[in-house]
Amino acid sequence: MRSVTVMKIGGNVIDDPAALKRFLAQFAALKGPKVLVHGGGKLATQLAERLELKTQMVDGRRITDRGMLDVVTMVYAGLINKQLVAGLQAEGCNALGLSGADGNVVTARRRAPEPVDYGFVGDIERVDDALLERLLEVGLTPVFPAIMHDGRGTLLNCNADGVATALATALARRMPTDLVFCFEKRGVLRNPDDEGSVIPEITADDFAALRAEGVVSKGMLPKIEQALKAVEAGVRSVVIRSADHLDEPSGTVIRRRAAEQ
């Protein structure tokens, strides 16, 4: 099979109808097999508030108790996932929405309650790369929310960046795989107030220095950590970039070492 692209989008795209429509058209037009992973945007928080459920966040991660698990499953694996699938179908892309439980394609284990009990939050344990390859071979484009399962009847809320990394790493065992993280900026910025300060390339050595200097911080830290984990595990390339103009080369490329081609 040809190379495959695994692309992750976040709430900044999902929450903006115009931006989402542009993205879906561009994603559908990308040549070759592809997989889409999506976050949830603000809708789950808004629905939780209407249901009078308290939203708790620790270091940017959602505490998922039983009530919140029901909400994020309905929103992420239900409404948002099917809206994305329908939007891609309208663009001529034969998409298939899948949670981890569907086809038993991805299993996760519930995160240990120490030092923070996140509730029904999971970390990816296994990906059925053979099933994914078969879906891609027949021309389907899998669309994943971050809702997985433990194989014993429990759904788990997972980190979407981690899901994209796990899928890309699994597929890389079978075919050349590229991973793209899309967010609201043009790439990793040296100056967060200057869109022109995109860092073109980051290696593991660069990352350590950028973190020590405070250039990379907060939510970008786990994103780059996931990217480095992916290239170390055999993913051909990882790019952190804006969701706009997918047909144009841009963003920050993550590599294991500077000399790598």
pLDDT, one tens digit per residue, over 145-170 is 999 999 999 999 999 999 999 999 99
The verdict on residue 198 lying in a domain is yes
The verdict on residue 259 lying in a domain is no
For 192, the domain range is 4-254
The verdict on residue 224 lying in a domain is yes
pLDDT digit string, tens, across residues 61-80: 779 999 999 999 999 999 99
Q: How many structural domains are present in the chain?
A: 1
The residue among 171 and 225 whose pLDDT is bigger is 171
Residue 98 contacts residue 144 (beta carbons within 8 Å):
yes
Q: How far apart are CA 126 and CA 212, in angstroms?
A: 33
CATH at 215: 3.40.1160.10
Q: How far apart are CA 208 and CA 189, in angstroms?
A: 15
The verdict on residue 260 lying in a domain is no
Q: What is the mean pLDDT of residues 21-26?
A: 96
Question: Cβ of 160: how many Cβ atoms within 10 Å?
Answer: 22
